[in-house]
């Protein structure tokens, strides 16, 4: 028997905004286009707020360069902090063993950290412009 859309509770639905190929930092040295990628990324974050999504999925190539400049990193962090932190409770629950999945300095997923107020969690898949290791080589 096929379930009707009306039978689905809003509590059982996860709304996801998917963005890909943001290429933050693209043309950052160009005097006319240096902020284009950041303005576009901010528009995406504003859509996430406007449509009250539960999470964002970045499908690769967040940055244009494999090793983004300090300016690009700073602008990205500023946008994430501005639009992803807040009082809206996160509706997602992390069900896996966090101690097993997070073996770095941060032992739990950030949206369940009592010291942070993450209102819009973002998950990211690396693309061919991104460093999948999470560690920049010197």
Structure tokens at 7: 């039978």
Q: Which of 23, 64, 83, 129 is catalytic?
A: 129
- Provide the 10 A C-beta neighbour count for residue 44: 16
- Provide the 10 A C-beta neighbour count for residue 22: 22
Q: Please report where in the chains the tokens 């950290």 appear, as a residue.
A: 113
Q: C-alpha angle with apex 134: 128 to 138, nearest 5 degrees?
A: 95
**Displacement of CA 130 from its chain's centroid (Å):** 14
The Cα-based distances of 37 to 10, 72, 95, 104, 123 in angstroms read 34, 10, 34, 30, 19
Whether residue 23 lies in the annotated active site: no
Residues taking part in catalysis: 129
């Amino acid at each position: 028997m096929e379930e009707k859309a009306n039978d689905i509770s809003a509590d059982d639905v996860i709304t996801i905004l998917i963005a890909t190929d943001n290429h933050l930092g693209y043309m950052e040295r160009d005097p006319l286009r240096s902020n284009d990628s950041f303005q576009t990324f901010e528009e995406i974050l504003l859509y996430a707020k406007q449509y009250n999504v539960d999470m964002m999925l970045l499908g690769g190539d967040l940055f244009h360069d494999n090793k983004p400049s300090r300016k690009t990193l700073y602008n990205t962090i500023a946008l994430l902090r501005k639009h992803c932190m807040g009082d809206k409770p996160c509706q997602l629950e992390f069900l896996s063993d966090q101690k097993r999945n997070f073996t770095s300095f941060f032992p739990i997923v950030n949206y369940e950290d009592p010291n942070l107020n993450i209102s819009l969690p973002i998950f990211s898949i690396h693309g061919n412009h991104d460093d999948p290791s999470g560690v920049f080589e010197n």
